[in-house]
A and B are shown apart, each in its own frame.
Chain A
Amino acid sequence: MRWRLNPLCQLHWRCWDDEYILFNASSGQTHFLSVLGALTLQLVADRALDREQLLTAFSDRLDDFTVDAETQEYVANMLADLDNLGLIEPVP
């Protein structure tokens, strides 16, 4: 399954000390994101990606990221959370 940024989102970012605060003007909601969450939104804003492509992208960009069972599960849960928040959506 590939994911893309929800096209209805109007995102406003603040980044302080590796903590990302995101305001979605479409929903009026504010979100606190980890580096991975913020990076995911930026990557899927450019083009739709599946989980494997995201894991590869994280490995390429983050020094201390390794793909293993734990990170795979974490990323799967994170994608589900971002979907539930209306920030990303599966590509039909």
Chain B
Amino acid sequence: MRFRDLSLPDLAAALRQTGIFYRIGPFSIHLETALPELPPVLHRLYSDFSLLDSDGFADFHVRLVSPHGPRALWRSQVRFLIDDASHFAPFPREIALALLEWGLNWCVFKRAHQYLMIHAGVVEKNGHALIMPARPGSGKSTLCAALAYRGWRLLSDEFALVRPEDLTVVPFPRLIPLKNESIPVMRQRVPEQAMGPTLPRTRKGTVVHLCPPTDSIRRSGEVARAGQILFPTYTGGQPLRFEPLGKSQTFLRLTANSFNYEAIGLRGFETMSALAGHWPGAEFSYGDLDEAMEYLENLLPRAAPPAPSVADQGEVPAMPSR
């Protein structure tokens, strides 16, 4: 059953009474909220996501509540609770959807240490995952969104969840948070696609959430092999630049963009060095979205990549000797 199979009144009642259980990629989420403005937004934006039978188990038990107290008298706010504990300051209520999405990111970032987590957009074509680690503001979400609506499968616009045992990337397709200048860009490109309300004055500026393509949600159980690592930067008006990096530089840049490289110890080192060793990355800066997408279309091989080895690449390197 999917969100769209519930009527809006039933969805609102379930959210208010017992909460709903749903799946995004490998994670199950239990969400409860009595905020009346959220069910219509979720009904529309989450329409293709799967609802789960409520057996009580979920990876994350989440509640969005409107806090009481004197502050509520002059400023309406919303609080994100995980296992009934609050870890963030309340947000203005008009950006409750952004708080839900960012809060779920936080849950994954804090708990999903079975994966090596890299702050990266990931899209897939012909069996190759294109991993694009980048800092906020680099244009990663826009590039991911544009590629996703050009026939690539969206795995995530935020997390590369890499399985240490086989270096595959686990899909985690979420709503894509478009920010500021990227909002009109994507509205023009995919005017027919569902987008959330305009959320003004968030910490990242104005945000609008774009639904991922239905096919990406439907195939969120299919992992993908890494095929290329790119570090993208949007440089408006500048010519496209593709500059290959060495393995060490790739390793360094990947670790700088990882959420949990240090936390998972040797497993993190082995996984990260296997990624950098098999797929040395490249700097990729672009000033024109269409030109960038055309370039990327031709970058990956047509055939699916072979399975790489995660085996140790030599405990002690050979040293010079005469």
Query: Which residues from chain A sit less than 8 Å from chain B, CB to CB?
Result: 11-17, 19-21, 23, 25, 28, 30, 32, 35, 38-39, 42, 60-63
Contact = CB atoms under 8 A, between A and B. Distances in A.
A35 B252 contact: no
Interface of B: 246-248, 251-252, 255, 262, 265-266, 269-270, 273, 276-277, 312-322
Contact of A61 (B255, B269, B276, B321): B321
A21 B251 contact: yes
B266 A12 contact: yes
B320 A13 contact: no
Contact of B248 (A13, A17, A25, A28): A17
A54 to B, nearest CB: 13
B252 A32 contact: yes
Nearest to B273: A14
B270 A39 contact: no
Contact of A17 (B247, B313, B320, B321): B247
Given A14-B273, A16-B246, A17-B248, A25 B315 contact: no
A23 to B, nearest CB: 4
Contact of B320 (A12, A19, A23, A35): A35
A39 B269 CA distance: 21
Contact of A21 (B262, B273, B319): B273
Given A23-B266, A30-B255, A39 B319 contact: yes
A25 B266 contact: yes
Given A12-B266, A12-B269, A28-B262, A42 B316 contact: yes
